[in-house]
Amino acid sequence: MLIFFVIIGIVVLTNLLSFSKVDRLILSQIKENQLTETKYVAKQIESQITQVKDDLVTLTKFPKIESLDANKCKQNIKIVHEKIEGKIESLLRVDKEGNIIECSSPAFSSYIGLNIKNKDYFKIPKETNEPAISGVERQGTNSQIIVSAPLFETTEYTPYPNFKGQFKGLLLSIIDINSLYYSSIHQSFGSEKNFFLLINLNTEETILKSNDIGSYHEIKSKLPEATKNLDAILNIEPFGDAILTSSDISLGAEKWRLIVLTPLKNVNKEVESFKKSHIINLGLIIIVILGVFFLLISSYKSKEEAQSKLEKTNVTLENLGIKVEVEKDKYSQADLSLDAKKVYLVKEDDENHAHELFISCLNKGFAGLGITRNDPRVIKKKYNLQKTSFIWLTNIKVEGVACETNIDNLYELISEFIKKSKKSVVLIDRLDYILNENKFEEAIKKLHAIKDLAQTKDCIIILSANPSLIKESQIKAIEAETVDLYGKHLSKGIELSELELGALNYINEKNINNKLVSYKDITKNFNITKPTTRAKIKNLQKMGLIQVEQKGRFKSLKATSTGRRILSSR
């Protein structure tokens, strides 16, 4: 109890200390998240514009772009640029004198005839043979980014740039500033909670901004040194304290910066919400710790009572001649693998699947205790078991055989066996018979206790029962404490076609008669193609209904216990 209260005190004290710093922690997390988002959006903008540039370069590598009617703006140049999958939405062609002579859409027909020879996005490609990205260009009320790439006279594909061919002009693509907003910025920073600025670092021009924030020149004096990326919480009028993050965008000679500002008053709801959740979590932690404490006290008392009772009773493993031993030889085993610390339920076990699972665990080095309705001597002989102990569920005393039906005595024996074993498996066959011999309330309590004990040891419990002999409410209580191997957990989601069901039944019947079944047998018997056979077998194998065993060059098909259960239920 002292340790318990020390733990409670540490938990409460730790949470109170962290609660006093919660505002700073939350704001730090929000700032970190916002910086990550800012860098992501900046990278999107950079990628979009860079992709347009790369797509233009790809188009200039065509050996020939056909001459078009300059007044129509709709023939082959549109066809050319639509052949490349990328970000290009517009395409214009400029001759070597700087005249725009062709375009890919009538929407740009007003550009025909314009001379751009004095523009940097014409002069730079002409002089350097490299593509260029302009700053913000104004066209009426629209703001645009223009990307250009040089064209060269050539009759064959050449690497880029082409310094040998004669300069023949440019290809241009126009990016509307608003498209950058809707494709990259809007989703992350388009709400009233955030404000953003997209600026040109070379010219300090504001390229794009939120409606409720001034231009870069208006707030520049309130920002830190602009030579480095921003990542701080500052007081910026008229917003007050605000989270400020930024990320740079590199576009060749052009250097841009995305700045995002979030006033702290806009994230107060998040802070308060986190505080409330923190208090609730603290309360839940204390409740859980208290629950665990009382559970431990209760378990300790139960353990003490059980130990005291075990010491007093005369029904012990030693008195009944039951030993904790492991089988040395290997025997037949099931095709399902069971996990330790679990209780498994097998219903309607006409084919002794529970026995197969029990034997399979013995093969893996588990010490076994079988509690069965049938004569244990017959079972041991059938499976050639030498070391495994059994208890016969019968009220008749048989010499040389441990017999018991009382649930309290059975529990004590099972408990002692599990505790003495490094790893163990217990088979309780015909649970319905035990329930008939004892009060259900007492039996289900012992089942709870057995499950709890199995979870503390390397132990597997296998139950088999005939549900038709148990009340529906009782079988549901049992299912709640067990893993139903062949019931609703297995059959759920298994849908078989008529062909698949027929093939499974065919394989099972051949197995019963100890005959090998091959893919060829399925193909011939059901008159289907080889690909269809492979597909159906693969599906049955995937659902765990059959196994494919390699016997030399021959692949033999075998129905699993799961498959047999599916057939018996239909």
Q: What is the DSSP string of 295-359?
A: HHHHHHHHHHHHHHHHHH-S--HHHHT-------S-----S--PPTTEEEEEES-TT-HHHHHHH
More confident residue, 456 or 1: 456
Residues forming a β-bridge with 249: 256
Residue type, 116: I
Given this model, what pLDDT does residue 68 score? 36
More confident residue, 409 or 82: 409
Of all residues in the chain, the percent with pLDDT exceeding 90 is 11
Work out the average pLDDT over 150-161: 62
Whether the predicted pLDDT of 209 surpasses 80: yes
Work out the average pLDDT over 351-361: 83
Q: Which tens digit of pLDDT belongs to each residue from 456-477?
A: 999 999 998 888 888 888 988 9
Q: What is the pTM of this model?
A: 0.44
Task: Say if CB 427 and CB 308 are below 8 A apart.
Answer: no
Task: Say if CB 241 and CB 262 are below 8 A apart.
Answer: no
Given this model, what pLDDT does residue 99 score? 92
Whether the predicted pLDDT of 255 surpasses 50: yes
CATH topology of domain 317-491: Rossmann fold (3.40.50)
Whether the predicted pLDDT of 229 surpasses 60: no
Q: Which residues contact residue 198 at a Cβ distance below 8 angstroms, ignoring those fewer than 6 apart?
A: 45, 180, 185, 206, 207, 208, 209, 256, 257, 258, 259
Whether the predicted pLDDT of 162 surpasses 70: no
Given this model, what pLDDT does residue 72 score? 45
CATH number for the 47-175 domain, one of 3.30.450.20, 1.10.3720.10, 1.25.40.10, 3.30.420.40?
3.30.450.20
Residues forming a β-bridge with 115: 99
Choice among 5-19, 410-424, 549-563 with the minimum mean pLDDT: 5-19
Work out the average pLDDT over 421-437: 91
Quick one: pLDDT band at residue 225, thresholds 50, 70, 90? low
Given this model, what pLDDT does residue 32 score? 86
More confident residue, 67 or 177: 177
Quick one: pLDDT band at residue 62, thresholds 50, 70, 90? low
Task: Say if CB 28 and CB 119 are below 8 A apart.
Answer: no
What 3-state class would DSSP assign to 153? coil
More confident residue, 335 or 245: 245
Whether the predicted pLDDT of 426 surpasses 90: yes
207/204 Cα distance (integer angstroms): 9
Q: Which residues contact residue 20 at a Cβ distance below 8 angstroms, ignoring those fewer than 6 apart?
A: none
Q: Which tens digit of pLDDT belongs to each residue from 116-128?
A: 899 888 998 888 8
Given this model, what pLDDT does residue 158 score? 53
Quick one: pLDDT band at residue 441, thresholds 50, 70, 90? very high
Quick one: pLDDT band at residue 297, thresholds 50, 70, 90? confident
Whether the predicted pLDDT of 70 surpasses 60: no
| 116-136: burial string, b at 16+ Cβ within 10 Å, e else | beebbbbebbbeebbbbbbbb
Quick one: pLDDT band at residue 442, thresholds 50, 70, 90? very high
Residue type, 441: E
Whether the predicted pLDDT of 546 surpasses 80: yes
Specify the domain boundaries for CATH 3.30.450.20 within the chain.
47-175
Mean pLDDT in the chain? Answer: 80
CATH topology of domain 498-568: Arc Repressor Mutant, subunit A (1.10.10)
Q: Read off the tokens for 314.
A: 């005369």
Specify the domain boundaries for CATH 1.10.10.10 within the chain.
498-568
Q: Which tens digit of pLDDT belongs to each residue from 382-410?
A: 888 888 999 999 988 888 888 999 999 99
Quick one: pLDDT band at residue 69, thresholds 50, 70, 90? very low
Of all residues in the chain, the percent with pLDDT exceeding 70 is 82
Given this model, what pLDDT does residue 452 score? 92
Whether the predicted pLDDT of 313 surpasses 50: no
Work out the average pLDDT over 482-498: 67
- DSSP for 181-247 reads IIIIIHHHH-STT-EEEEEETTTTEEEEE-TTS--HHHHGGGS--TTS--EEEEEETTTEEEEEEEE
Choice among 77-86, 104-113, 435-444 with the minimum mean pLDDT: 77-86
